[in-house]
Amino acid sequence: MCYQMSHGFFAKVDPKNNFHFGNGGWGAWELAGRFSFIDLNDEGIRGGKETSFTSGLNWYLNRKTRFMLNYIRTHVKDRETSPSFDSGRADIFQGRFQIEF
């Protein structure tokens, strides 16, 4: 997604050169990053705290087709559950292929 300042909204990425295997067009590439945090602890409720870091790579073959790869590193702490589980870490690899009709 790219932000269109002149119109005030997000629009699709439209590669200057669509991907074409034999003709040298590689589409468009996008690097993305995100940090998120949530605190689910409140008075007697101990839902825990979670922080996540996400890095992503998007490849737009053309205006309607893209591949997305993400790596997510997350950490949970200060949780009370039954059975006991206080904290933990996770490394997540995620991929998606999207076609718009």
Residues 32-52 pLDDT 10s? 999 999 998 888 877 788 999
Residues of the chain with pLDDT under 50: none
Longest Cα–Cα distance in the chain: 63
Contact yes or no for 48/74 (Cβ under 8 A): no
Strand 65-79 to 45-62 pairing: antiparallel
Q: Is 63 exposed, middle or buried (0-12, 13-18, 19+ CB in 10 A)?
A: middle
The per-residue pLDDT for 39 is 92
Contact yes or no for 32/43 (Cβ under 8 A): no
The per-residue pLDDT for 59 is 94
Structure token digits, residue 16 = 């200057």
The per-residue pLDDT for 85 is 61
Q: Is the whole model's pTM more than 0.85, yes or no?
A: no
The per-residue pLDDT for 40 is 85
Instruction: Please report where in the chains the tokens 């101990």 appear, as a residue.
Output: 46
